[in-house]
Structure 1
Amino acid sequence: MDKRICLAAVLLTASCLVLGGCGQPRHIESLSQGSAASVMPDGHSSGVDGVSSAPLPARAADVPKEPIPAQPSDMEIDDAALRSHLAGMQWLDGDRGYAWERTGGGFRLYRTEDGGEEWRDATPPGTPAFSGGLDAGRAVYFFDSMHGWICLAPDEDPTLVFRTDDGGRTWTESKLPVRTEPTAMQFVTPTKGWLMTSADAAMGRVEKTLYVTDDGGLSWKPSAESSYAGESKGLLPEREAVTGMHFIDAKNGWLAFGSHDPAPVLYRTKDGGEAWSKIPIEPASDVRYGAGGPEFPGGQTRFGYTLVYRNEGADRRRLDAYVTDDGGDSWSFKPWNLEGAASFADLRHGWGWRNGELMATADGGSSWNAIPAGPTLRKMLRKFPVPKSLQFTGARDGWLLLGENGEGETALLRSRDGGMTWIASS
């Protein structure tokens, strides 16, 4: 394949349905040849058991519609196009992953099954223009290579959720009752998941609603809302914005909130998201940090961390962490002194940046050592000096998205030896 030949997009159009009630699918799409069996990452079962793509019972206002694939399944794209303006990525293992980019008011979603050698267009058809972000775990989430969700907030219409159970070949669309911005999204099975949303902030208030689904995103119901009463009523605080969310199973989860406190603000649920309580965390000093979302990497249930950061100049942020090794009951401060991006594959192996160098730890962050940059990484860093995103799916397989300041061009690199050497995707 000539990798300099640009993608010839195939535009598909379809008749629109009259919008139904809250959480009801607007249309159901399926692959006419039948869904292929999925190959799951370690720790997940294969197949699509428990997830139905059949339409809900029709109502009088519903309009029949033929199944429409997102794009032809054999459509390949030029890797060079993938380096233009990527907004995010999510990798499921060393070979399978998704990446996406903004295109005017919309976006394009791409899928690879061979480590980035070839990419296929997996964009849902008919996606509306929107102005919000496309962060992984915020508006885009894939549970495995087959099951994924994209949440978009059009400028005026209610918020939409697109769902696929065949790796992006076809999509199902559902909606929330109002327009609200997605701030966090996660699934612990192909059917069980949560979507945190936030309305526009006004007079120090950030109204939040946590939605939950038990049918893979075909329908959503409110699970918790914000209130000034906060934890006294088991609700969420209204003054702080959500900066991250993580569930380790169907019952236990955490929310991180932005604040100006010396310690991170974390809330915890033990009932699947209906009631939340604030976790007491002792600050390490009077340094005021902003807090990122909690992470429990590699399916861990005991080891986790939440990044905290402080600005040290116009384009420089220092990253430290609060770490737990008892499943979130207690958190202790760790001075990691990193910058920009960080990623852990398991409880021991992690990577980050410091003074423009890639750092690695093999002891859970107790010590960090610089990894000398090879010729490919040095060359890319000269043109793309900002680490936008870093993700390792194991002790050896990693992905690095580099970019310019602001929303300039990006470059995608991969490593198969723990960050010692890197290869450009294109």
Structure 2
Amino acid sequence: MNSCLRFISALLIMATLLAACSANPSLPANSPVSIEDTQEEGQTLTIVNPESIDSNMQTEQLSDGKKYQIQTRLTDFHLLSSTTGLAWGATRNELRLYRTEDNGATWTNISPSSSILFSSSPEFGKDFFFLNKDTGWIIRNTINSGEAIILRTNNGGLVWKMASLPDVARVVAVFFLDAEQGWIVTEGDYRSSSEAKAVYLTKDSGATWKKIMSTPIIAADASARLNKLPKIGVISGMSFTDKNHGFVSVLEAGQPSLYRTTNGGVNWSKVEGWFDHSKFASCSRFSVDAPEFFRGNTRYGWVPFGCVKEDAIKYQGYFTEDGGASWSFVPFSVPWQQDDSSHLATTFLNRREGWSLHGSMVYHTTDLGENWLLLPQSAKLSEIVLEYPNVLKVQFFNSQLGWLLVGQSDNNRSLLMQTMDGGASWQVL
């Protein structure tokens, strides 16, 4: 019996010695743990609240034990100040939303609950809107339920509250004028294949919504369609300058058009003569983006549109200097670019200054697009666009600071970049 015990003890000692020999002596007890997930490779973010990390993400604990690094795929972003911005993407039906307040050095995970599933990633101005770092809304479009879920926060994502819009197919535009009043445009009816439009208004931060306009699925006569958004047409975006005046851009019968309201979204009328098709007869098709009024001065704004010829596209714009009462076409003397992406690669900071990206080439204007200066080519940007050729979004907060999101052709990976010298040089955030 004693010999058996001695034999078992010897086996245990040998197993312990073997385990010790096989361990890596260079690794400390609190060495980083990485969970591989190739679908999430791309952008590396340093997260400051590790308790919010999803265990399915690729993570690595940093040496101070208080920060984590993750790799994730971003699909959109929005700059809120010269130091603060949001970036997000949806993976495996979960929305992952991050905020930085130090120019991308560190990020905070402010995602809503993973129990709220997203079939696609939200887009700013379509189903995502933030006024500032504290106040924002995210819309989860219908997933086989006929009900859109509207999430809202007023404390930077610490708490998300929920409301719903029943019997809608999809939300196609959202805009908030302030923390209380906002509008949503929906398209389609859950019970039919109709493209009928509806406008909803909230005056209590999105807790409740009232339908203030709808296009009839079947109109009894032409008068039933008066003062409405068009039933047939693709909504591109919406913007309001005050509680009464707003604009919606539409790709209608294949051509850009603009609709205006002067009574808070109840009635809408087409801005006649806004788009002159005869000037663009050589274009095979068009795209149009959301109307945008520049920060701090709602008298000045623009609506960008794209003209496609064969496999090339050029963006140009209609500008206003009187709050949308009148519009002027401004051609851009920039090169045509390959039509391999539907995303707008031109942005304006104000009524004079703008940027246009063509691969690794960055053009800059300070005279409303009359003249464009090709900036010195950034070595880092040139390197990145070889692997990430698609410009997904570009935004400048001031004349120096801008962000750029680029993606691979298969859209599986993306990188968020930043310039702090007006577009001359770029670095990955």
- Structure 2 letter corresponding to 1:112: T
State the match for 2:323 in structure 1. Answer: 327
- Structure 1 letter corresponding to 2:228: L
**2:300 is aligned with 1:308:** no
Task: Quote the offset at 1:180 in angstroms.
Answer: 2.6
Task: Quote the offset at 1:380 in angstroms.
Answer: 1.2
The farther-off stretch of 120-129 and 92-101 is 120-129
Query: Could you tell me whether the CA contact under 8 Å between 1:231 and 1:278 is conserved in 2?
Result: no
Query: Could you tell me whether the CA contact under 8 Å between 1:350 and 1:361 is conserved in 2?
Result: yes
- Structure 1 letter corresponding to 2:166: P
Query: Could you tell me whether the CA contact under 8 Å between 1:96 and 1:111 is conserved in 2?
Result: yes
State the match for 1:245 in structure 2. Answer: 238
- Structure 2 letter corresponding to 1:415: T
Q: 270, 273, 280: which is aligned to 1:285?
A: 280
Q: Deviations over 1:218-273 (max 9, x none)?
A: 111112112464896311110112111111111111001112455x3101011111
State the match for 2:126 in structure 1. Answer: 138
Matches within 5 A, 1:3-82: 10=52, 77-78=68-69, 81=71
**2:268 is aligned with 1:276:** yes
Query: What secondary structure, in the 3-state scheme, does the structure 2 residue paired with 1:399 have?
Result: strand
Extract unaligned runs of 5+ from structure 1: 13-73
The farther-off stretch of 134-143 and 175-184 is 175-184
Q: 407, 415, 423: which is aligned to 2:419?
A: 415
State the match for 1:265 in structure 2. Answer: 257
Residues 201 and 317 of structure 1, relative CA distance in 2, 3 Å threshold: farther
Q: Deviations over 1:343-375 (max 9, x none)?
A: 111121111123651111111222211112222
State the match for 1:68 in structure 2. Answer: none
Q: 199, 205, 225: which is aligned to 1:216?
A: 205
- Structure 2 letter corresponding to 1:300: N
Query: What secondary structure, in the 3-state scheme, does the structure 2 residue paired with 1:378 have?
Result: helix
Query: Could you tell me whether the CA contact under 8 Å between 2:202 and 2:210 is conserved in 1?
Result: yes
Distance 1:77 1:297 in 2: 36
**2:183 is aligned with 1:190:** no
- Structure 2 letter corresponding to 1:297: F
How many corresponding residue pairs?
359
The farther-off stretch of 123-132 and 213-222 is 123-132
- Structure 2 letter corresponding to 1:217: G
TM-score, L = length of structure 2: 0.77
**2:158 is aligned with 1:160:** no
Q: Deviations over 1:296-316 (max 9, x none)?
A: 1223322221111133455x4
Task: Quote the offset at 1:166 in angstroms.
Answer: 0.7
Query: Could you tell me whether the CA contact under 8 Å between 1:246 and 1:295 is conserved in 2?
Result: yes
State the match for 2:397 in structure 1. Answer: 393
Distance 1:285 1:202 in 2: 38
Query: Could you tell me whether the CA contact under 8 Å between 1:211 and 1:221 is conserved in 2?
Result: yes
The farther-off stretch of 322-331 and 126-135 is 126-135
Distance 1:221 1:351 in 2: 39
Query: What secondary structure, in the 3-state scheme, does the structure 2 residue paired with 1:343 have?
Result: strand
**2:104 is aligned with 1:107:** no
Task: Quote the offset at 1:86 in angstroms.
Answer: 0.8
Extract unaligned runs of 5+ from structure 2: 1-30, 33-43, 55-64, 338-343
Distance 1:223 1:295 in 2: 23
Query: Could you tell me whether the CA contact under 8 Å between 2:50 and 2:67 is conserved in 1?
Result: no
Q: Of the two, which has the highest radius of gyration?
A: 2
Query: What secondary structure, in the 3-state scheme, does the structure 2 residue paired with 1:94 have?
Result: coil
Tell me which of the two structures has the higher relative contact order, counting C-alpha pairs closer than 8 angstroms and 6 or more residues apart.
1
Residues 249 and 349 of structure 1, relative CA distance in 2, 3 Å threshold: same
- Structure 1 letter corresponding to 2:176: F
Distance 2:240 2:45 in 1: 42
Distance 1:106 1:257 in 2: 30
Residues 151 and 203 of structure 1, relative CA distance in 2, 3 Å threshold: closer
State the match for 2:366 in structure 1. Answer: 362
Distance 1:230 1:130 in 2: 38
Query: What secondary structure, in the 3-state scheme, does the structure 2 residue paired with 1:141 have?
Result: strand
Matches within 5 A, 1:371-382: 371-382=375-386
Distance 2:383 2:189 in 1: 42
- Structure 1 letter corresponding to 2:376: P
Q: 107, 111, 117: which is aligned to 1:123?
A: 111
Query: Could you tell me whether the CA contact under 8 Å between 1:128 and 1:154 is conserved in 2?
Result: no
State the match for 1:48 in structure 2. Answer: none
Q: 298, 313, 319: which is aligned to 1:317?
A: 313
Distance 1:245 1:372 in 2: 35
Higher helix share: 2
Distance 1:99 1:328 in 2: 30
Q: Deviations over 1:100-151 (max 9, x none)?
A: 0121122211111111100111011144223244111111110111100000
- Structure 2 letter corresponding to 1:375: A
Residues 11 and 204 of structure 1, relative CA distance in 2, 3 Å threshold: closer
- Structure 2 letter corresponding to 1:238: K
Distance 2:365 2:224 in 1: 36
Query: What secondary structure, in the 3-state scheme, does the structure 2 residue paired with 1:382 have?
Result: helix
TM-score, L = length of structure 1: 0.77
- Structure 1 letter corresponding to 2:101: E
Sequence identity, in percent?
A: 29
Q: Deviations over 1:268-324 (max 9, x none)?
A: 01111111111012513324523221111223322221111133455x432121222
Query: What secondary structure, in the 3-state scheme, does the structure 2 residue paired with 1:417 have?
Result: coil
